[in-house]
Structure formats: structure tokens, C-alpha cells
Amino acid sequence: MKMSETRQAALPAPLLKAARSRWGHLLFVLPGMLPVVAWALARQVGAWDLWAWFTPFVYFVIIPVLDFVLGEDRHNHDPADESELARDPYYRCLPLSCLPLQLGLLFWGAAVWAEAPFGLAGQLGWIVSMGCVGGVQGINAGHELIHKSNGVERAAGGVLLASVLYGSFKVEHIYGHHVDVATPDDNSTARRGESVYAFIARALARNVGRAFALERRHTERRGEVYRWARSEVFGWMLVSAAMCAVCVAIVGGTAGFVYYLGQAFFAIVLLETINYVEHYGLQRQRLPDGRYERVNPMHSWNSDYLLTNLLLFHLQRHSDHHAHATRRYHLLRHFDQSPQLPFGYATMVVLSWVPSLWRSVMHPRLDRFQAALSASR
């Protein structure tokens, strides 16, 4: 079965080689720098309320255009090189570097929120901008780190998630989503026909509670007594509370509280929107014994758009990530048999905001994939 419908990268060979190199992976810093650029430009030219929206404008207008222009890259590393690349400390350090960057930007953003001459539109734009940064530099990098066996990486991933009030994701994602993905038991798998708004509401209502329940189950299976006040989920909530207190100290009073909760809300909404995109309509087959088939690269939508993959630690190669969850981001592979998204994540997020448009794009593609899958069995 072959489901690849791709638009190959339009870059000249030397630039494409550079993009795949160690230096190309440094593009991950770009999303986090956008509010800094906006702040610097606003200081020079004014129009603070307009520049406050610069970050989401780049995320959801400029990046989709660049994705389309630059195209896709289906290149996989030579398997003979994978062992050496997996040990390379350079690639391990990049997601870890997001921890000081995210915390620095979170608290710097609070200071800007307190001092900049924003009107109401600018205040909202700044919170959305910092939420975009938290969704990409906080949650996305944290997601990469919590899957690793190294305790330092997992702890750093937890702190990054806690920076946007979503430390519970560390537990729910590993023990819930990765176990139940593409089944009715998973809150993070969107059903066919479900709107992104209904999906986000379901995720926000259920995922934190499910994280506590999953942690309780795993604690009791070890023969230990579960106490929610000593749980990992509650611990991350305390870390979030400490970060919120810092923002309150920087901004002052209720405004600091609004800033912290606001950026966290938009970061979580961005995460859950991407969750919606990643598994929309896909289902694992139930076996005769009642269990579901093993997760494989056909249970997640894949996207190989070059620019967004470099910005997101290759999160768009989600098919391989779910099939091999501990594989490091720079080694994730393209599989022709995986269902392929028509665009990169930034464009798909925008499409999801218009449910009728989303269905018109995704349902024919989903039907073709499912027909090909059925024919191959």
C-alpha cells in the first residue's frame, strides 16, 4: 500500500543539505524569538497593539506560506548512521535548551505585559503570542523530553509542561494516549466528524482527571498506597503555582494571574488542536481476543513539510513517533504507507478552525486511506 501524496522540497541541493544538517536544527529557536522581535519593533515604531499579534501572524500566515513554497522532505537517515546520531549530545542538548529559554521568555513576557502601553487588543494579542511560544517551545519540547529514558530529560520535560499549567500531560500522554491512541478510549484521538471545538472541550474536561486516575492505577499495581497529595501530577501543579507566583510578583496582583493563566490556556489549546490533527478519524483494528492491534505507523497522520519539522523537533513525523516512541526527534522516519496530511501543522490548525472546510479536505483523504488499508489486509 502506498499513500504518499507529497510535494518535494523546492530548495537547491546545497540549501537542502544545510537544512538537514546540525545547523538546520537550530531553527527551533525561531518561534520563541518572535515576541522579542515584535517587542523591539514596537519600541522603535510604536503600534504596540498591532505588534502584539505579530507572533500568531507568523505562526498561522507566514509559516504556512513558507511551508508551501519550500515543500516537503521525505529524507530518512541511513540506518547505518543511526546509532552514532542517537548518541550525539548535540541533538540531545537542543530540546533541553528550551527549558531556560521558555522560563526566561515566560517571565520576560510578564514584565512586558506589565510595562508596555497595550490597549485591550494588545493585551489579548500578547497573551496569545506568549501562549503560542508556550505551546511550541514549552509543550512541544517537553513532549520530546518526557519520552526519553534519561531522568534529567524527563524532569526538564515536566518543568516545561508545568510552565503552561499542563504537567499532568506528562502522565496522561505516556500512560494514556500512547496506550489507547486510535481507540474510543483515548481522549486525544479525534473522532471522524468531531469538530476541533468539541474535541478541545472534551480534552480539557477529562485529561487532568485521567492523569490522576492513571497514576493511581500504576501506583497500586506496584503494591504501593496512592496519595494524591504526593502524586507526580499534583507535584507538577505545585511547580505551576510557583511559576504563577513569579508572574504575579512581576506584574502585580490579578493582572499577573491573568497573564499566566491566559498564556497557559492558549498554549494548551494549541497543543490539543495539534492532537486533533494528528489522529483525526484513525482507528486501530480490534482483534478476535478483544484487544486492539499494536500501534504502527498507520495510526497517526504524517507530514514532511521541511520548515515546520525543523521548527517543531520533527513532531510532524508523528507516525514513526507513535510506532517507536523513544526514538529521538532527528531520527524519526517517513513511511510511504502512513496517512499523509496535505499541509504542515500550521496550515492544518487554521483549517481545523472551519469545520466544514476541514471535513471537505480531510474526509476524502481519510476515505482513500481507509480503502487502501482495507485492500491491503
What would the pLDDT profile of 127-146 be if each residue is shown by its tens digit? 999 999 999 999 999 999 99
| Model confidence band, residue 13 (pLDDT cutoffs 50, 70, 90) | confident
Q: 10 Å Cβ neighbour count for 147?
A: 21
Inform me whether the pLDDT recorded for 229 exceeds 90: no
| Model confidence band, residue 6 (pLDDT cutoffs 50, 70, 90) | low
Inform me whether the pLDDT recorded for 3 exceeds 50: no
d(CA 318, CA 338) in angstroms, rounded, equals: 10
Q: What is the mean pLDDT of residues 31-46?
A: 97
| Model confidence band, residue 7 (pLDDT cutoffs 50, 70, 90) | low
Share of the chain above pLDDT 90, in %: 88
| Model confidence band, residue 376 (pLDDT cutoffs 50, 70, 90) | confident
Please tell me the predicted confidence (pLDDT) of residue 168.
97
Residue among 96, 132, 167 at smallest CA distance from 329: 96
pTM of the model: 0.94
> Rounded mean pLDDT of the chain?
94
d(CA 7, CA 5) in angstroms, rounded, equals: 7
Higher pLDDT: 1 or 241? It is: 241
CB 136 within 8 A of CB 32: yes
What would the pLDDT profile of 316-354 be if each residue is shown by its tens digit? 999 999 999 999 999 999 999 999 999 999 999 999 999
Please tell me the predicted confidence (pLDDT) of residue 366.
97
Place of cell 478483544: 290
Q: 10 Å Cβ neighbour count for 295?
A: 20
CB 72 within 8 A of CB 304: yes
What would the pLDDT profile of 109-129 be if each residue is shown by its tens digit? 999 999 999 999 999 999 999
What would the pLDDT profile of 284-307 be if each residue is shown by its tens digit? 999 999 999 999 999 999 999 999
**Which residues have CB under 8 Å from 134's CB, separation 6+?**
102, 106, 163, 164, 263, 264, 266, 267
Region class of 227: left (phi > 0), else alpha (psi between -120 and 50), else beta: beta
Q: What is the mean pLDDT of residues 243-270?
A: 96
Region class of 186: left (phi > 0), else alpha (psi between -120 and 50), else beta: beta
